[in-house]
Amino acid sequence: MARFTPLEQRIDEWAHRRLDRVRGAAANPQSASTSAASPRLRTWAVEFTVFVLKQAWACVFGGALLAVLVLTRLWYPESAALARNDFLVLAALAIQILMVVFKLETLRELRVIILFHIVGTVMEIFKTDAGSWTYEGDGVLHIFGVPLYSGFMYAAVGSYMVRVFRLFELRFDRYPRRWITAILATLIYINFFSHHFIVDARWFLFAAIAVVWWRTVMHVRVSRVRFRMPVLVAFVLVSIFIWIAENVATWSNAWVYPNQSDGWELVSIAKLGSWLLLMIVSVVLVTWVEKPRPPEPLGDSAKQQP
């Protein structure tokens, strides 16, 4: 059993109660007149509901931070004594503290999130100095011109990744050796810096990602049903999700790309590649805390879906 927080445990218990009722109704001879598809439909409805709830819960830190960005973009007064950038830092810190105090996040997750914060902030300092993007607005809670809330945005990605591992009890067939993934993640991280001075190796890195994870299949437990998915497909889907969130964040003026300096416009679809590379770094960091494990044998209460 995964290490659930109290709220997560209640979601899981609710799902099991609902599924037990569906199973009981299907086994009742008096329900023979009911369509055979009805129990299956209700089972899928419960599983889909749990999937949505767990995904939303995995995104809770990033979602809360994104909500604050949007709300302050719409309503934060320009004449406020506290600069918006400083308010965002304090708000992000408050969200993080509240999640730990109310046991909405485990201390194990917090350690990973702090690591993401450090890794992200270092890259932010370099990238803003290189002109890849800029931060507007005043404030004192900056480091080398980068507002400290920027690190929390990377932490939001880390929070999602580590929560998904736990909430969905991720298991993997033929996961590559972690030392290989660590080397690849290191090369990706170096390329984020080095491509400003030498050739951009991202196409080589994309090919390496495909080779390393080509045979890996991810097993996902929702409530009782387990799904299988090629892990490369999961990487792409999460990258798209982050790209959508990035568009919301840039619209809210969290940061500005050079082509958005005269007014907001959609973030280039080419950024999907950058997010894919960054997500690989994220996955590798998480797997050094949550060691990838092979699938467990199916029990009577679990079903496997392709």
Whole-number percent of the chain with pLDDT over 70 = 90
**Average pLDDT over the chain, rounded to whole?**
86
CA distance 282 to 301: 32
Taking a C-beta distance cutoff of 8 angstroms, is the pair 20, 43 a contact? Answer: no
Give the CA distances from residue 297 to residues 102, 118, 219, 226, in Å, rounded to whole numbers and listed in that order: 35, 38, 12, 11
Taking a C-beta distance cutoff of 8 angstroms, is the pair 280, 187 a contact? Answer: no
Taking a C-beta distance cutoff of 8 angstroms, is the pair 97, 224 a contact? Answer: no
Q: Which two tokens stand for residue 241?
A: 């999700």
Give the CA distances from residue 191 to residues 163, 194, 205, 225, in Å, rounded to whole numbers and listed in that order: 27, 5, 9, 39
> For the chain, how big is the Rg over CA atoms in Å?
22
Q: Which two tokens stand for residue 71?
A: 């709300």
CA distance 184 to 178: 10
Written as one letter, the residue type at 128 is: T
162: confidence class by pLDDT, cuts 50, 70, 90: confident
Taking a C-beta distance cutoff of 8 angstroms, is the pair 224, 230 a contact? Answer: no
Q: Could you read off the pLDDT of 78-137 as tens digits, one per residue?
A: 889 999 999 999 999 999 999 888 877 777 778 888 888 899 999 999 999 999 999 988
Q: Which two tokens stand for residue 164?
A: 């998904």
**Residue 283 neighbours by CB under 8 Å, 6+ apart:** 161, 181, 185, 235
Angle at 295 between CA 272 and CA 108, to 5 degrees: 65
Q: In what order do the strands lie in the sheet with 217-221?
A: 171-173, 217-221, 225-230, 303-305
Q: Is pLDDT above 90 for 297? A: no
Whole-number percent of the chain with pLDDT over 90 = 55
Taking a C-beta distance cutoff of 8 angstroms, is the pair 149, 88 a contact? Answer: yes
CA distance 251 to 234: 26
Q: Could you read off the pLDDT of 235-287 as tens digits, one per residue?
A: 999 999 999 999 999 999 999 999 898 889 999 999 999 999 999 999 998 88
| Residue ranges per structural domain of the chain | 6-18+41-305
SS3 content of the chain, % helix, strand, coil (to 5): 65, 10, 30
2: confidence class by pLDDT, cuts 50, 70, 90: very low
